[in-house]
Structure 1
Protein backbone atom coordinates (compact mmCIF):
# COMPACT_ATOMS: atom_id res chain seq x y z
CA UNK A 1 0.00 0.00 0.00
CA UNK A 2 1.18 3.53 -0.83
CA UNK A 3 2.25 5.40 2.29
CA UNK A 4 1.65 9.12 2.78
CA UNK A 5 5.40 9.84 2.89
CA UNK A 6 5.69 8.53 -0.68
CA UNK A 7 3.43 11.16 -2.27
CA UNK A 8 4.86 12.38 -5.58
CA UNK A 9 6.51 15.77 -5.74
CA UNK A 10 6.81 16.01 -9.50
CA UNK A 11 6.63 14.03 -12.71
CA UNK A 12 8.84 14.67 -15.70
CA UNK A 13 7.25 12.79 -18.56
CA UNK A 14 10.09 12.91 -21.10
CA UNK A 15 12.55 11.19 -18.76
CA UNK A 16 9.76 9.40 -16.93
CA UNK A 17 11.09 10.67 -13.65
CA UNK A 18 9.10 10.64 -10.45
CA UNK A 19 10.34 11.92 -7.13
CA UNK A 20 8.74 10.99 -3.84
CA UNK A 21 10.11 13.26 -1.15
CA UNK A 22 13.83 12.34 -1.09
CA UNK A 23 13.43 9.10 -3.07
CA UNK A 24 13.97 9.40 -6.81
CA UNK A 25 12.88 6.90 -9.44
CA UNK A 26 14.14 7.52 -12.95
CA UNK A 27 14.17 5.84 -16.34
CA UNK A 28 16.16 7.47 -19.10
CA UNK A 29 15.38 6.85 -22.77
CA UNK A 30 18.70 4.99 -23.08
CA UNK A 31 17.26 2.31 -20.79
CA UNK A 32 19.83 3.05 -18.10
CA UNK A 33 18.33 2.95 -14.63
CA UNK A 34 20.06 2.62 -11.30
CA UNK A 35 16.95 3.22 -9.19
CA UNK A 36 14.04 1.19 -10.59
CA UNK A 37 12.82 -1.02 -13.40
CA UNK A 38 10.15 0.60 -15.62
CA UNK A 39 7.91 -1.39 -17.94
CA UNK A 40 5.52 0.41 -20.26
CA UNK A 41 2.02 -1.01 -19.96
CA UNK A 42 0.50 1.52 -22.33
CA UNK A 43 1.15 5.00 -23.71
CA UNK A 44 0.56 6.62 -20.29
CA UNK A 45 0.91 3.69 -17.88
CA UNK A 46 4.01 2.05 -16.37
CA UNK A 47 4.78 -0.76 -13.95
CA UNK A 48 7.65 0.31 -11.71
CA UNK A 49 9.67 -2.17 -9.64
CA UNK A 50 11.80 -0.58 -6.94
CA UNK A 51 13.45 -2.41 -4.03
CA UNK A 52 11.21 -5.41 -4.63
CA UNK A 53 8.02 -3.32 -4.48
CA UNK A 54 5.87 -2.92 -7.61
CA UNK A 55 4.02 0.33 -8.32
CA UNK A 56 1.51 1.04 -11.08
CA UNK A 57 1.95 4.60 -12.35
CA UNK A 58 -0.81 6.01 -14.57
CA UNK A 59 -0.95 9.46 -16.13
CA UNK A 60 -4.66 10.44 -16.22
CA UNK A 61 -4.49 13.93 -17.72
CA UNK A 62 -2.22 16.84 -18.48
CA UNK A 63 0.01 18.59 -18.55
CA UNK A 64 -2.13 21.75 -18.62
CA UNK A 65 -0.82 25.28 -19.28
CA UNK A 66 0.64 25.44 -15.76
CA UNK A 67 2.32 22.04 -16.04
CA UNK A 68 -0.18 20.28 -13.77
CA UNK A 69 -0.58 16.52 -14.36
CA UNK A 70 -3.00 14.11 -12.70
CA UNK A 71 -1.39 10.72 -11.95
CA UNK A 72 -2.29 7.63 -9.96
CA UNK A 73 0.33 5.61 -8.10
CA UNK A 74 -1.17 2.26 -7.09
CA UNK A 75 -4.58 3.92 -7.42
CA UNK A 76 -3.79 6.91 -5.19
CA UNK A 77 -4.67 10.01 -7.23
CA UNK A 78 -2.24 12.93 -7.08
CA UNK A 79 -1.84 16.25 -8.87
CA UNK A 80 1.81 16.91 -9.71
CA UNK A 81 3.75 19.35 -11.89
CA UNK A 82 5.65 18.59 -15.08
CA UNK A 83 9.07 20.22 -14.98
CA UNK A 84 11.58 20.33 -17.79
CA UNK A 85 15.23 21.14 -17.01
CA UNK A 86 14.68 24.90 -17.49
CA UNK A 87 11.60 24.96 -15.24
CA UNK A 88 13.44 22.98 -12.53
CA UNK A 89 16.37 25.42 -12.69
CA UNK A 90 14.07 28.45 -12.50
CA UNK A 91 12.14 26.94 -9.58
CA UNK A 92 15.40 26.15 -7.78
CA UNK A 93 16.38 29.81 -8.20
CA UNK A 94 13.05 30.96 -6.74
CA UNK A 95 11.51 31.92 -10.07
CA UNK A 96 8.60 30.54 -12.06
CA UNK A 97 8.67 29.49 -15.70
CA UNK A 98 4.92 30.18 -15.88
CA UNK A 99 4.98 33.64 -14.30
CA UNK A 100 6.10 35.67 -17.31
CA UNK A 101 4.31 33.67 -19.98
CA UNK A 102 1.49 36.20 -20.53
CA UNK A 103 3.81 39.06 -21.54
CA UNK A 104 5.12 39.32 -25.10
CA UNK A 105 8.37 40.99 -24.01
CA UNK A 106 11.11 38.52 -23.15
CA UNK A 107 13.05 39.24 -19.97
CA UNK A 108 16.09 37.50 -18.51
CA UNK A 109 14.91 34.63 -16.28
CA UNK A 110 18.21 34.85 -14.39
CA UNK A 111 21.44 36.87 -14.45
CA UNK A 112 23.80 35.86 -17.22
CA UNK A 113 25.79 36.74 -20.30
CA UNK A 114 24.33 37.04 -23.81
CA UNK A 115 26.26 34.60 -26.02
CA UNK A 116 24.31 35.07 -29.24
CA UNK A 117 21.43 37.25 -30.50
CA UNK A 118 19.38 35.46 -33.17
CA UNK A 119 16.82 38.17 -34.09
CA UNK A 120 16.82 41.80 -35.23
CA UNK A 121 14.37 44.69 -34.89
CA UNK A 122 11.58 44.22 -37.43
CA UNK A 123 11.81 40.42 -37.57
CA UNK A 124 8.55 38.46 -37.46
CA UNK A 125 8.88 35.58 -35.00
CA UNK A 126 6.71 32.60 -34.18
CA UNK A 127 5.94 31.27 -30.72
CA UNK A 128 8.79 29.03 -29.56
CA UNK A 129 11.30 30.47 -32.04
CA UNK A 130 14.82 30.88 -30.59
CA UNK A 131 15.66 34.54 -29.88
CA UNK A 132 19.03 34.42 -28.14
CA UNK A 133 21.40 32.27 -26.14
CA UNK A 134 21.99 33.25 -22.52
CA UNK A 135 24.80 31.74 -20.45
CA UNK A 136 23.94 31.39 -16.78
CA UNK A 137 25.69 29.28 -14.16
CA UNK A 138 28.00 27.81 -16.85
CA UNK A 139 24.97 26.55 -18.82
CA UNK A 140 23.79 27.76 -22.21
CA UNK A 141 20.06 28.53 -22.18
CA UNK A 142 18.12 29.03 -25.41
CA UNK A 143 15.62 31.84 -24.85
CA UNK A 144 12.53 31.40 -27.05
CA UNK A 145 9.60 33.62 -28.01
CA UNK A 146 6.61 33.13 -25.71
CA UNK A 147 4.22 34.23 -28.48
CA UNK A 148 4.20 35.20 -32.16
CA UNK A 149 4.87 38.85 -32.96
CA UNK A 150 7.17 41.49 -34.45
CA UNK A 151 10.47 42.37 -32.75
CA UNK A 152 10.40 46.06 -31.75
CA UNK A 153 13.57 46.31 -29.70
CA UNK A 154 16.67 44.25 -28.92
CA UNK A 155 18.46 46.25 -26.20
CA UNK A 156 21.18 43.62 -25.62
CA UNK A 157 24.15 42.51 -27.67
CA UNK A 158 26.58 39.60 -27.78
CA UNK A 159 28.88 39.52 -24.75
CA UNK A 160 26.69 41.77 -22.62
CA UNK A 161 26.01 40.85 -18.98
CA UNK A 162 22.34 41.07 -17.97
CA UNK A 163 20.55 41.00 -14.64
CA UNK A 164 17.48 38.95 -13.78
CA UNK A 165 14.41 40.68 -15.24
CA UNK A 166 16.35 42.72 -17.83
CA UNK A 167 14.53 43.21 -21.14
CA UNK A 168 16.11 40.95 -23.77
CA UNK A 169 13.67 41.32 -26.69
CA UNK A 170 10.61 43.59 -27.01
CA UNK A 171 7.58 42.53 -29.08
CA UNK A 172 4.54 43.95 -30.77
CA UNK A 173 1.60 41.54 -30.95
CA UNK A 174 0.64 40.08 -34.31
CA UNK A 175 -2.29 41.97 -35.84
Structure 2
Protein backbone atom coordinates (compact mmCIF):
# COMPACT_ATOMS: atom_id res chain seq x y z
CA UNK A 1 0.00 0.00 0.00
CA UNK A 2 1.19 3.47 -0.86
CA UNK A 3 -0.11 6.88 0.05
CA UNK A 4 0.29 9.18 -2.96
CA UNK A 5 -0.10 12.94 -2.65
CA UNK A 6 0.05 15.92 -4.99
CA UNK A 7 -0.22 18.37 -2.11
CA UNK A 8 -1.69 18.59 1.38
CA UNK A 9 -5.28 18.41 0.14
CA UNK A 10 -4.87 15.67 -2.51
CA UNK A 11 -4.03 12.28 -0.96
CA UNK A 12 -4.87 8.81 -2.31
CA UNK A 13 -4.29 5.33 -0.97
CA UNK A 14 -3.10 3.01 -3.73
CA UNK A 15 -2.78 -0.73 -3.32
CA UNK A 16 -1.67 -3.13 -5.99
CA UNK A 17 -1.00 -6.85 -6.05
CA UNK A 18 -0.43 -7.11 -9.80
CA UNK A 19 -0.92 -4.89 -12.84
CA UNK A 20 -4.54 -6.03 -13.11
CA UNK A 21 -5.39 -5.64 -9.41
CA UNK A 22 -5.18 -1.99 -8.38
CA UNK A 23 -7.36 -0.23 -5.81
CA UNK A 24 -7.64 3.51 -5.27
CA UNK A 25 -9.01 4.54 -1.86
CA UNK A 26 -10.32 0.99 -1.41
CA UNK A 27 -12.22 0.90 -4.72
CA UNK A 28 -11.15 -1.17 -7.77
CA UNK A 29 -9.32 0.96 -10.33
CA UNK A 30 -9.74 -0.24 -13.92
CA UNK A 31 -7.32 1.13 -16.49
CA UNK A 32 -5.34 0.19 -19.57
CA UNK A 33 -1.78 1.41 -19.78
CA UNK A 34 0.57 1.16 -22.74
CA UNK A 35 4.30 1.78 -22.39
CA UNK A 36 5.37 3.94 -25.34
CA UNK A 37 9.05 3.87 -24.32
CA UNK A 38 11.40 6.56 -23.02
CA UNK A 39 9.25 7.22 -19.94
CA UNK A 40 6.08 7.88 -21.95
CA UNK A 41 2.76 6.09 -21.42
CA UNK A 42 -0.77 6.12 -22.83
CA UNK A 43 -3.54 5.48 -20.28
CA UNK A 44 -7.24 4.74 -20.75
CA UNK A 45 -9.53 5.14 -17.72
CA UNK A 46 -13.34 5.33 -17.76
CA UNK A 47 -13.40 6.07 -21.49
CA UNK A 48 -10.91 8.95 -21.23
CA UNK A 49 -7.46 9.03 -22.79
CA UNK A 50 -4.37 10.36 -20.97
CA UNK A 51 -0.81 10.91 -22.13
CA UNK A 52 1.77 10.65 -19.36
CA UNK A 53 5.49 11.33 -19.42
CA UNK A 54 7.89 10.81 -16.53
CA UNK A 55 9.90 14.04 -16.29
CA UNK A 56 11.83 13.34 -13.11
CA UNK A 57 12.01 10.41 -10.69
CA UNK A 58 13.78 10.51 -7.33
CA UNK A 59 13.54 7.00 -5.91
CA UNK A 60 15.28 7.89 -2.65
CA UNK A 61 12.84 10.68 -1.80
CA UNK A 62 9.99 8.76 -3.49
CA UNK A 63 8.99 11.70 -5.67
CA UNK A 64 7.95 11.63 -9.31
CA UNK A 65 7.26 14.53 -11.64
CA UNK A 66 4.91 13.72 -14.51
CA UNK A 67 3.55 15.61 -17.44
CA UNK A 68 -0.08 14.45 -17.64
CA UNK A 69 -1.88 15.69 -20.76
CA UNK A 70 0.59 18.58 -20.88
CA UNK A 71 0.23 19.59 -17.21
CA UNK A 72 3.06 19.14 -14.70
CA UNK A 73 2.10 16.97 -11.71
CA UNK A 74 4.40 16.34 -8.73
CA UNK A 75 3.73 13.14 -6.79
CA UNK A 76 5.07 12.17 -3.35
CA UNK A 77 4.78 8.51 -2.33
CA UNK A 78 4.90 7.09 1.17
CA UNK A 79 5.03 3.37 1.78
CA UNK A 80 3.82 1.64 4.94
CA UNK A 81 7.19 2.16 6.65
CA UNK A 82 7.19 5.91 5.92
CA UNK A 83 3.65 6.15 7.31
CA UNK A 84 4.61 4.19 10.44
CA UNK A 85 7.63 6.43 11.08
CA UNK A 86 5.44 9.48 10.56
CA UNK A 87 2.86 8.17 13.07
CA UNK A 88 5.66 7.53 15.57
CA UNK A 89 7.05 11.03 15.02
CA UNK A 90 10.35 9.69 13.73
CA UNK A 91 10.32 10.81 10.09
CA UNK A 92 12.37 13.97 10.66
CA UNK A 93 14.75 12.31 13.12
CA UNK A 94 16.00 9.80 10.55
CA UNK A 95 16.50 12.45 7.86
CA UNK A 96 18.71 14.54 10.16
CA UNK A 97 21.24 11.70 10.61
CA UNK A 98 22.09 11.15 6.94
CA UNK A 99 25.85 11.04 6.39
CA UNK A 100 25.94 10.05 2.74
CA UNK A 101 23.97 9.83 -0.48
CA UNK A 102 24.01 6.46 -2.22
CA UNK A 103 23.05 5.58 -5.78
CA UNK A 104 19.44 4.32 -5.90
CA UNK A 105 20.22 2.35 -9.09
CA UNK A 106 23.12 1.73 -11.47
CA UNK A 107 23.76 4.49 -13.99
CA UNK A 108 25.98 7.26 -15.31
CA UNK A 109 26.72 10.59 -13.56
CA UNK A 110 25.89 13.24 -16.18
CA UNK A 111 25.93 16.38 -14.01
CA UNK A 112 27.41 17.41 -10.66
CA UNK A 113 25.70 20.44 -9.12
CA UNK A 114 27.60 20.79 -5.82
CA UNK A 115 31.17 21.15 -4.57
CA UNK A 116 32.86 20.00 -1.36
CA UNK A 117 32.26 22.54 1.40
CA UNK A 118 28.96 23.72 -0.10
CA UNK A 119 26.01 24.01 2.28
CA UNK A 120 22.83 22.36 1.02
CA UNK A 121 19.25 22.21 2.22
CA UNK A 122 16.98 19.20 2.07
CA UNK A 123 15.73 18.80 -1.51
CA UNK A 124 18.57 20.74 -3.17
CA UNK A 125 19.80 19.00 -6.36
CA UNK A 126 23.22 17.35 -5.92
CA UNK A 127 23.80 15.11 -8.93
CA UNK A 128 22.07 13.95 -12.09
CA UNK A 129 22.12 10.18 -12.63
CA UNK A 130 21.19 8.81 -16.04
CA UNK A 131 19.63 5.37 -15.80
CA UNK A 132 17.46 3.50 -18.31
CA UNK A 133 17.60 6.50 -20.69
CA UNK A 134 16.11 8.81 -18.03
CA UNK A 135 17.79 11.56 -16.05
CA UNK A 136 17.19 11.36 -12.31
CA UNK A 137 18.03 14.34 -10.13
CA UNK A 138 19.43 13.12 -6.83
CA UNK A 139 18.60 15.60 -4.08
CA UNK A 140 19.94 16.30 -0.61
CA UNK A 141 18.14 14.04 1.87
CA UNK A 142 18.67 16.58 4.69
CA UNK A 143 20.27 19.93 5.47
CA UNK A 144 24.04 19.71 5.67
CA UNK A 145 27.43 20.43 4.19
CA UNK A 146 28.98 18.46 1.34
CA UNK A 147 32.13 16.87 2.75
CA UNK A 148 33.36 15.12 -0.37
CA UNK A 149 32.22 13.86 -3.75
CA UNK A 150 32.97 10.17 -4.22
CA UNK A 151 32.26 10.27 -7.98
CA UNK A 152 33.22 12.36 -10.96
CA UNK A 153 31.46 13.48 -14.10
CA UNK A 154 30.74 10.58 -16.54
CA UNK A 155 31.47 7.94 -13.86
CA UNK A 156 29.47 4.72 -14.02
CA UNK A 157 28.03 3.86 -10.61
CA UNK A 158 26.45 0.80 -9.05
CA UNK A 159 23.33 0.62 -6.89
CA UNK A 160 24.21 1.44 -3.28
CA UNK A 161 27.52 3.10 -4.15
CA UNK A 162 28.32 6.17 -2.03
CA UNK A 163 28.13 9.29 -4.23
CA UNK A 164 28.31 12.18 -1.76
CA UNK A 165 29.68 12.24 1.79
CA UNK A 166 28.27 14.87 4.18
CA UNK A 167 30.07 16.38 7.19
TM-score between both structures, scaled by the size of structure 2: 0.51
Q: How does 1:1-175 map to 2 (within 5 A)?
A: 9-14=1-6, 16=12, 18-21=14-17, 22-24=20-22, 25=29, 34-36=44-46, 66-68=81-83, 102-172=97-167
Quote the residue 2:72 is aligned against. Answer: none
Per-residue CA deviations over 1:116-172 (Å, capped at 9, x if unaligned) read 000001100111111000011221111011111111101211111011121111101
Structure 2, gaps ≥5 residues long: 23-28, 32-41, 48-77, 85-93
Name the CA distance, whole Å, in 2 between partners of 1:134 and 1:16.
Answer: 29
Aligned to 2:60: none
Residues 1:127 and 1:162: Cα distance change in structure 2 (over 3 Å)? same
Alignment deviations for residues 100-127 of structure 1 (CA, whole Å, 9 cap, x no partner): 9553210111111001000001100111
* Partners of 1:18 and 1:26 within 8 A in 2: no
Q: Is the 8 A contact 1:155 1:168 kept in 2?
A: yes
RMSD: 3.5
Task: Measure how far apart 1:10 and its partner are.
Answer: 3.4
Larger radius of gyration: 1
Deviation at 1:33, TM superposition (A): 7.0
SS class of match (1:128): coil
In the TM superposition, what is the alpha-carbon distance from 1:16 to its structure 2 partner? 4.7
- The alignment covers a number of residue pairs equal to 106
Aligned equivalents of 1:106, 1:65: Cα separation in 2: 22
Larger RCO (CA within 8 A; separation ≥ 6): 2
Give the TM-score normalised by structure 1.
0.49
